[in-house]
Structure formats: C-alpha cells, structure tokens
Structure 1
Amino acid sequence: MDTSYWSTSRLLSTAARLNENRDNERLRSIGVTHSGVTILKVLASAGSMSQVKLAQIVRVQAQTVGKALERLEMRALVTRQKSESDRRVTFVALTPAGRTILDEVQQGEGVPLGGAGYAEEDLRAALISVINATRDNLLAPGPVPEPQLVASA
C-alpha cells in the first residue's frame, strides 16, 4: 500500500487505529480493551467522577463511555452509582480488581502495550505536540502556526 500520498490526518488516524487494534489483541487475554485501560487510568489518577466528566476527559461521547463502562462493570473493575441529589448523574469509581488489572497492564505482565525504546518516546512526544497545537489552534483566532516537533538526541 502506497501511503506517500495520504494526508497527515489519514496517516494519524490509520496509525491510531492500527495501534489500538494491536493493543486490543494483547489485552484480550486479560479481558479488557484499549479504551477500558484508558478509563481505568483516568479513574486511578483522578479518582471517582461523574460519567459525563469521564467522557470529557477522554474526549468521547458519554454514550461511548457508557458502553465501555458496562463491560468494565460486568467484570467488577469499576462501580457506577447514581447521585443521591440528582438521579441523572452517575458516578464512576475504580474497584480494587480494576486497580489490579491496571497494575498488570502498566507493569507489562504478559501484556506489553505500544512499542518500546526511544523511538516510541519520540513518537509520543511528537503526537502530543501535534494534539496540543491543534487543540490550541482551534481555540485561537488568526493564522494557524505549525506545531513544533521535538526530536531527542
């Protein structure tokens, strides 16, 4: 397949999809997905929060998070509880079993994710730069400057 004529957007989305598919294959053995691990990481870092806030943090629709949470809740990796004061709000929390699975993934116990080495770190830094610049430029008036890509020595 000749990718030399693809737009940057198509290259990024294809790379993201392939990376997520690779990670999902590796995660299948412990019964979680790439999106599930992302949710577990957010909850481990930020603590219990509303489902809407969780969706905002991971930048997806609340319905999309809801489907992933159903799968995580069935495995007892998260809990969901309606707010007492507003029944429309659902709070999500990481369970001890969810923490254990997350620890296994993060320690790479039989489920290595992503690449390894400096090339992976350089790619991550470049992608973070592109994402931040694109997000910032969407909010800023005027011409759109090019993102600054950082290469390590």
Structure 2
Amino acid sequence: MQNDESKPDLADLFLRASRVIRGRWRESLIPMGITPHQSRVLSLLGHAEAEGLRNSQLAERLHIAARSTTEVVDQLEAKQLVVRTPDPADRRATLIALSPSGRAQLGKMSQLRRDSMAGYFEKLSAPDRDELARLLEILDRENPRSPRHGCK
C-alpha cells in the first residue's frame, strides 16, 4: 500500500502529459504553416456565428490583450484564412470570420489533431480511454472556460 509520499503527484503527471500533447500538436502544425495561437483563433472562429467575432471578443475568449489578437489575425489574413468585414451593428468595429480556405484549413486541422493524438492515446486500452475521458469530463465541469459553460 502506498502512503501519500509515494503516490504520484497527479498535477505533475497531468502537466507532463499536457506538455507532450501540446508539443505533438505544435509539431504537427508545422507542415501547415500554422502556429498553435493561429490554430486556436481558427478554432474559435469556426465555432462562432457565421458573421464572425470582433477582435475584442477574440481577445476575451483567448484571455490575451486585443493587440496580441490583432497580430495573429493579421497573420491569418495574410494567409487568406480569415476575412475582416465591417460590423453592421457598429461601423467603428470589424468582424473577423473564416474565409472559405480558412474553413477548409480548420477541417484539415481537426483531422490532423485526431491523427496526431491517436498515437499518444493508443497506449491505453479502449476501456482506459473511455475512463480517462469520463474523469476529464468530471474535472472539466468546474472549468468556467469550458464549452459546457457557454464559452467557445
């Protein structure tokens, strides 16, 4: 029987696994010419209304400064993955939305994510993967940034 001192530190194990997952994701994006920050913006826009989001909304959802969001959007616009249009509700603001090529890129990224993570999680049996998903969903219930709480 393990005492508290000999038990693995769950937070440390979780952080190490998270680092591996983020690293694999970052590496898999390189051939697409997309950074993890850019992929996050594309993902948020993919879940947004068709007309898009304001820069301030993107910044709020990413928990970063609006000027940082502007830089990422500029990069994505240069790659023709997003378009900016005037906001009909406020002529001082613009809306950012996926372009058709951005939507196609998002589809490719989704498949890429599944493929790149399959190798990592295949070490677990199917019942173990199901159990891990169940446990992570329990932990995610307390996450105010979770899609379950209305954030996307």
State the AA in 2 paired with 1:100. Answer: A
Indicate yes or no: 2:86 matched with 1:67: no
Query: Which residue pairs with 1:148 in the alignment?
Result: none
Structure 2 stretches lacking a partner, 5+ long: 1-6, 146-152
Report how far residue 30 of structure 1 moved. Answer: 1.0
In 2 relative to 1, CA 26–5 (structure 1 residues): closer, same or farther, beyond 3 Å? same
Query: Which residue pairs with 2:135 in the alignment?
Result: 126
Tell me the secondary structure at the aligned position of residue 97 of structure 1.
Answer: helix
Indicate yes or no: 2:58 matched with 1:41: no
Query: Which residue pairs with 2:23 in the alignment?
Result: 21
Percent identity (aligned): 23
Aligned partners of 1:46, 1:27: CA distance in 2, in Å? 22
In 2 relative to 1, CA 11–71 (structure 1 residues): closer, same or farther, beyond 3 Å? farther
Tell me the secondary structure at the aligned position of residue 80 of structure 1.
Answer: strand
Contact 2:28 2:112 in 1 (8 A): no
Indicate yes or no: 2:122 matched with 1:113: no
Tell me the secondary structure at the aligned position of residue 101 of structure 2.
Answer: helix
In 2 relative to 1, CA 134–79 (structure 1 residues): closer, same or farther, beyond 3 Å? closer
Report how far residue 50 of structure 1 moved. Answer: 0.9
TM-score, normalisation: structure 2: 0.63
Aligned partners of 1:131, 1:63: CA distance in 2, in Å? 29
Contact 1:83 1:90 in 2 (8 A): yes
Residues 32-91 of structure 1 deviation map (CA, whole Å, 9 limit, x = unaligned)? 12332222222122230112212333444434433322221221101234547353x342
TM-score, normalisation: structure 1: 0.63
Aligned partners of 1:120, 1:75: CA distance in 2, in Å? 36
Written as runs of structure 1 = structure 2, the 5 A alignment for 1:48-59 is 48-59=52-63
State the AA in 2 paired with 1:112. Answer: D
State the AA in 2 paired with 1:32. Answer: I
Instruction: State how many pairs are aligned.
Output: 130
State the AA in 1 paired with 2:76. Answer: L
Higher relative contact order (CA 8 A, sep 6+): 2
Structure 1 stretches lacking a partner, 5+ long: 137-153
Of 114-123 and 68-77, deviating more is 114-123
Indicate yes or no: 2:96 matched with 1:92: yes
Tell me the secondary structure at the aligned position of residue 92 of structure 1.
Answer: strand
